[in-house]
């Protein structure tokens, strides 16, 4: 998978040299092509921004330098994404769809943003990572690269992506590792039993209750089996009984 990144701060992306994504890059599974927009400034001081027409605070990135940087990429098939609070909010479904692309170009704005004319000209899709404002699109671009790269074959261990939270529409079950007793708390007995059917049942139960307690909105989006519904209704009855 190829990512082209148009940014004024390419050094920020060194965060992606660490850990799992870093290993994916070393293995050649993920290719991150950083383009410094400033390199395309024709100004003698390498200026890339100017005051907004109509007045107001801050600076706006000039369209010409952004366009020239974009034109230098020469990746016809890449989907072009602008990271912005105005975009569609990123979720696991969007991540999975983006992972089907062969190449993605990420445009990172800074200051008050980018001249609208170049956005209209080159951007296919606007994406936001949540309803808050940041000083630049670099962190959202890294969030997108990380989340999408996890779906590139070979980046994660085979099963990890299937088993996890959101892929089945539920939150995760709790995880435990050694020691067996920590601060007087024991690991749930069933996990030590080696009985895989019981372990899977227990995990499904935990995932359902976890989702009911923390993100009940997610339960409305998925299809529950008869067994799932029984687990939830038993839990709800138990809770009501307990509070009286
Ligand atoms: C993206 C970009 C927030 C997001 C941004 C987000 N803030 N929620 N700021 O994904 C143009 C100039 C946008 C700064 C950028």
Q: What share of the chain is helix, strand, coil (3-state, %, to 5)?
A: 45, 20, 40
- Pocket perturbation via mutation, ligand 1, pick of 140, 141, 145, 146 by most ligand atoms within 8 A of CB: 140
Q: 95 in a domain, yes or no?
A: yes
Q: Above 60 in pLDDT, residue 6?
A: yes
Percent of the chain predicted with pLDDT > 90: 93
Predicted pLDDT at 138: 98
**pLDDT of 56-74, one tens digit each?**
999 999 999 999 999 999 9
Q: How does DSSP assign 193-230, residue by residue?
A: S--HHHHHHHHHHHHHHHHHHH-HHHHTTSPPPHHHHH
Same domain, 187 and 130: no
Give yes or no: residues 96 and 145 share one domain. Answer: yes
Q: For residues 12 and 131, state if they share a domain.
A: yes
Q: SS3 of 182, please?
A: strand
Lowest mean pLDDT among 21-35, 198-212, 230-244: 230-244
Per-residue pLDDT band at 242 (split at 50, 70, 90)? low
CA of 31 to the centre of ligand 1 (A): 24
Domain finish residue from 91, 124, 158: 158
pTM of the model: 0.95
78 lines ligand 1 (CB under 6 A): no
Ligand 1 probe mutation, 6, 116, 137, 141, most atoms within 8 A of CB:
137
Q: 196 CA to middle of ligand 1, Å?
A: 45
Strands 185-186 and 181-182, sheet pairing: antiparallel
Same domain, 153 and 92: yes
Tell me the CA–centroid distance for residue 236 and ligand 1, in Å.
41
Asked if residue 20 belongs to a domain, the reply is yes
Q: H or E element: which one contains 85?
A: strand 79-89
- In the reported structure, the alpha carbon of residue 13 is separated from the centroid of ligand 1 by a whole-number distance in angstroms of 16
| Residue 27: per-residue pLDDT | 98
pLDDT of residue 243: 55
In angstroms, the CA 134 to CA 111 distance is 10
For residue range 72-110, list pLDDT tens digits in order. 999 999 999 999 999 999 999 999 999 999 999 999 999
* pLDDT tens-digit map of 130-177: 999 999 999 999 999 999 999 999 999 987 887 676 778 999 999 999
Q: Residue 221 maps to which CATH number?
A: 1.10.1270.20
Residue 86 CA to ligand 1 center (angstroms) comes to 8
Q: Whose CA is nearest to atom 11 of ligand 1?
A: 113
Report the C-alpha gap between 188 and 202 in whole angstroms. Answer: 10
Atom of ligand 1 nearest to the CA of 129: 10
137 CA to centre of ligand 1 in angstroms: 5
How far, in Å, from the CA of 59 to the mean position of ligand 1? Answer: 14
DSSP one-letter string for 95-120: HHHHTT-SEEEEE--BTT-B-HHHHH
Question: Are residues 11 and 45 both part of a single domain?
Answer: yes
- Is residue 167 in a domain? no
Quick one: what percent of the chain has pLDDT higher than 70?
98
151 with 185, same domain?
no
Query: Is it the case that residue 233 has pLDDT exceeding 70?
Result: yes
In a domain, 41, yes or no: yes
| Domain annotation covers residue 165 | no
pLDDT, tens only, 166-205: 778 999 999 999 999 999 999 999 999 999 999 999 999 9
Q: Is the CB of 59 under 6 A from ligand 1?
A: no
Domains identified in the chain, total number: 2
Q: Please, where are the H alpha helices in 4-111?
A: 19-26, 63-71, 92-98
Max alpha carbon distance in the chain (Å)? 76
What pLDDT score was predicted for residue 184?
98
Domain presence at residue 190: yes
DSSP conformation class of 33: E
If asked whether residues 25 and 144 sit together in one domain, one would say yes
Total length of the chain: 244
Q: Which residue has the tokens 């991540």?
A: 95
- CATH number assigned to the domain comprising residue 139: 3.40.1280.10
218 alpha carbon, distance to own chain's centre? 18
Ligand 1 geometric centre to CA of 110 (Å): 8
Does 134 contact ligand 1 (Cβ within 6 A)? yes
> Do 43 and 121 share a domain, yes or no?
yes
Q: What is the mean pLDDT of the chain?
A: 96
Q: Which atom of ligand 1 is nearest to the CA of 112?
A: 12
Q: Which domain holds residue 64?
A: 2-158
């Amino acid at each position: 998978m190829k990512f082209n990144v148009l940014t004024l701060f390419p050094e920020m992306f060194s965060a992606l040299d660490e850990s799992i994504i870093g290993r994916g890059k070393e293995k050649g599974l993920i290719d991150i092509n950083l383009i410094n927009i400033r390199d395309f400034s024709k100004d003698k001081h390498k200026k890339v921004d100017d005051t907004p027409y109509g007045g107001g605070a801050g600076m706006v990135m000039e369209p010409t330098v952004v366009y020239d940087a974009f034109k230098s990429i020469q990746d016809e098939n890449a989907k072009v994404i602008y990271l912005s609070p105005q975009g569609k909010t990123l979720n696991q479904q969007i991540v999975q769809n983006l992972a089907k692309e062969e190449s993605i170009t990420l445009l990172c704005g800074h200051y008050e943003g980018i001249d609208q004319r170049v956005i209209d000209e080159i951007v296919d899709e606007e994406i936001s990572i949540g309803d808050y404002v940041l000083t630049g699109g670099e962190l959202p671009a890294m969030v997108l690269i990380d989340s999408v790269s996890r779906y590139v074959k070979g980046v994660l261990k085979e099963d990890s992506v299937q088993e996890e939270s959101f892929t089945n529409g539920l939150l995760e079950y709790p995880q435990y590792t050694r020691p067996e007793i920590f601060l007087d708390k024991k690991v749930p007995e069933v996990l030590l039993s080696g009985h895989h059917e019981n372990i899977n049942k227990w995990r499904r139960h935990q995932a359902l209750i976890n989702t009911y307690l923390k993100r009940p909105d997610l339960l409305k989006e998925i299809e529950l089996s008869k067994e799932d519904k029984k687990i939830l209704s038993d839990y709800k009855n138990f809770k009501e009984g307990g509070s009286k």
